[in-house]
Amino acid sequence: MELQLYTELIAIGIALFYTLAIFSAIEAIIHVRTAQGAIAWAISLLAIPYLAVPCYLVFGRTKFDGYLEQRKAIGEETVELLRQTRQEVARHEVPRSPAEPLYNALFNLTGIPAAGGNQVKLLIDGQQTFDSIVAGLESARDYILLQSYIIRDDGLGRRVGRVLADKARSGIKVYLLYDEIGSYNFHRTGLYKQMKMTGVEVAAFNTTQGRRNRFQLNFRNHRKIIVVDGHSAWIGGHNVGDEYLGLDRHIGHWRDTHIRLQGPALLGVELAFATDWRWATRTALPVVRPDVQPGLYGDDNVLVFPSDPASTLEQAGLLFLQVIVAARQRIWIASPYFVPDRSITSALQLAALRGVDVRVMIPDQPDGPVVGMANWAFSRELLPAGVKVYRYENGFLHQKVLLMDNHLAGVGTANFDNRSFRLNFEITVLVDGERFAKEVATMLEGDLLHCRQVTQAEIDAKPAWFPLGMGVARLFAPVL
């Protein structure tokens, strides 16, 4: 009798598992954004459900359930703040016209206009970046917003933490937000406890929050944002950890880029932080005030471009695609994770074929063998069209930098990969101005001195198994 009961329970379990596999396959066909991905998931779920179903629950979906509804709730609760913010930025808006469609497309994607009257300072590598950040934090008189994908309890983390703790003790509002996956152990550290004890408001951006997100590890909040008193913001590739100062002996030199932004455009940065804080804590951020004095900072035109997986359109991917399509003289890209989708690959090929100087800079020692193989696979595709690919050999290249023609440069947190295009919460700052573009060009030219240009002969000389390795890595490209 017991044997029969166990047999029936097993049969019911198998039936339920296959039912879940069928419904997951249907969901994949409807919602996965690429035909290749949808086909791969559907076949896997139906052919090997015991392996594919758990993988799909963790990695399968590209929509972040619940966040869009929360963002609407934020709009309802803080509609006046949002209205004032957009109204304030609009006072400094860069004129849009049919002759210059770049701003039109990007405004329609993000809803935040490009603003004039800003000053942007380029910060190269960790020492310069964190010296600027710490000095900015020490100058705070009203509030501090700090968001990072990774926060470590090490020398740099404690250096930043001491300033935050001192400011909180003195009565300044300090808000600290970290990603629960990127900083998965932070809540157990002494630094975390110190922050809490001294009055710092600390929260994790918990992407597993919500009924359908329970098993999802695919979504990450990859933003790195610091705002002080509403007048200065820092954005770029650096997280908070000693390796970002080049102090990890296994990694060596860490090549990264950050910016300091002052002016009306940073209201878009505060808006991105306030939205993330609302999701993490279910409370509105009370300190953000859209109050910017015109003409106080500089003359840089700046577009702050937050992107996230809850949006209907693939914002980050479309941002980069638009910039590549608009390029007439050059498009230079530096990214540690260069695993583009088909549209980006085709756009880069076409840009090179129409005579644009297209250069891609990637690390020679990538973060993992699969990513490394994928880099080689996409390099092989780009070279015949005339795209120049360079491998950085002086440590690890982690900067996320874009340069278009002689006037437009982008610095932010988004990589050129599917994760940043579709799965991560990212933020990119586009600066339209010849001064800043010239500084970025000089910086990248210096980086190129530490690079080796990839040739077709180098790829042809690889071992016989290498083409198979590149092909397999391409199969994993959508989840890298």
One domain for residues 21 and 40: yes
| Mean pLDDT across 421-439 | 93
DSSP-derived pairing of the beta strands 424-432 and 408-412: antiparallel
Compute the average pLDDT of residues 245-253: 90
Tell me which of 91 and 335 has the higher pLDDT.
Answer: 335
More confident residue, 25 or 119: 119
Considering 252, 273, 300, which residue would you say is the last residue of a domain?
300
Q: Provide the phi-psi class of 386: left if phi over 0, else alpha when psi is between -120 and 50, else beta.
A: left
Of 268 and 371, the one with more pLDDT = 268
At position 220, the amino acid (one-letter code) is R
* Boundary (domain end) residue, out of 274, 300, 326: 300
Radius of gyration of the chain (CA): 23
Task: Provide the pLDDT for residue 89.
Answer: 67
**What pLDDT score does 111 carry?**
76
User: Do residues 121 and 268 share a domain?
Assistant: yes
Query: End-to-end CA distance of the chain, in Å?
Result: 50
pLDDT: which is higher, 99 or 295: 295
44 token code pair: 């896997």
Q: Which domain holds residue 50?
A: 2-59
pLDDT of residue 78: 46
Residue 110 lies in a domain: no
Give the pLDDT band of residue 107 (cuts 50, 70, 90): confident
- pLDDT: is 277 or 210 the higher one? 277
Number of structural domains the chain divides into? 3
Last residue of some domain: 275, 300, 325?
300
pLDDT cut 70: percent of the chain above it: 76
**18 plus 81 within the same structural domain:** no
Instruction: Give residue 326's pLDDT band: very low, low, confident or very high (50, 70, 90).
Output: very high
pLDDT of 239 strictly over 80? yes
- 74 and 214 within one domain: yes
Q: Is residue 103 part of a domain?
A: no
Please determine, for residue 327, whether its predicted confidence score (pLDDT) is greater than 60.
yes
pLDDT at 81 over 60: no
Would you say residue 466 lies in a domain?
yes
The answer, yes or no, to whether residue 1 has pLDDT greater than 60, is no
Asked whether residue 402 carries a pLDDT value surpassing 50, the answer given is yes
Please indicate, yes or no, if residue 383 is contained in any of the structural domains: yes
Quote the pLDDT of residue 418: 84
- Give the model's pLDDT for residue 419: 84
Asked whether residue 21 is assigned to any structural domain, the reply reads yes
The pLDDT score that the predictor gives to residue 67 is 53
Considering only CA atoms, which of 335, 326, 468 is closest in space to residue 412? 335
Contact 238, 213 (CB under 8 A): no
Shared domain for 20 and 128, answered yes or no, is: no
Answer whether residue 308 is part of any domain. no
Let me know whether 284 and 358 are in one domain. Answer: no
User: Residue 383: is its pLDDT beyond 60?
Assistant: yes
Return the minimum-mean-pLDDT range out of 59-63, 183-187, 205-209, 397-401: 59-63
Residue numbers annotated as active site: 222, 224, 229, 398, 400, 405
Residue 291 domain flag: yes
Q: Please tell me whether residues 292 and 164 are part of one structural domain.
A: yes
Q: What was the pLDDT predicted at 118?
A: 92
- Mapped to the 3 state alphabet, what secondary structure does 369-388 carry? HHHHHHHHHHHHHHHHHCCE
Q: How confident is the model at residue 203 (pLDDT cuts 50, 70, 90)?
A: very high
pLDDT tens digit sequence for 252-287 = 899 999 999 999 888 889 989 988 898 888 888 877
Burial label, 67 (beta-carbon count in 10 A; 0-12, 13-18, 19+): buried
Beta bridge partners of 305: 428
Co-location of 293 and 368 in the same domain:
no
Residues 222 and 257 in one domain: yes
Name the nearest CA neighbour of 116 among 89, 92, 84, 90: 92
Tell me how far apart the alpha carbons of residues 49 and 107 are, in angstroms, rounded to a whole number: 43
pLDDT for res 461: 85
Q: Which residue has tokens 């309802």?
A: 76
With bands split at pLDDT 50, 70 and 90, how would you rate the model's confidence at 113?
A: confident
> Containing H/E element for 413?
none
- Indicate if 256 and 332 belong to the same structural domain: no
User: What CATH number did the domain enclosing 228 receive?
Assistant: 3.30.870.10
| Reported pTM | 0.85
The letter for the amino acid at 165 is A
User: In this structure, are 385 and 414 located in the same domain?
Assistant: yes
Mean pLDDT for the stretch of residues 400-423:
93
The number of residues making up the chain comes to 480
pLDDT value of position 95 = 66
Shared domain for 268 and 342, answered yes or no, is: no
What's the pLDDT at 478?
59
DSSP symbols for 135-174: HHHHT-SSEEEEEES-B-SSHHHHHHHHHHHHHHHTT-EE
The model's pLDDT over 42-65, given as tens digits with 9 standing for 90+, comes to: 777 777 776 766 666 665 555 555
Residue 453 has pLDDT above 80, yes or no: yes
Query: Does 106 reside within a domain?
Result: no
User: Is the predicted pLDDT of residue 200 greater than 70, yes or no?
Assistant: yes
Q: Does position 172 have pLDDT exceeding 70, yes or no?
A: yes
* Mean model confidence pLDDT for the chain: 84
How many angstroms separate the CA atoms of 194 and 184, rounded? 17
Task: Output the pLDDT for position 169.
Answer: 96
- The predicted structure's pLDDT at residue 17: 64
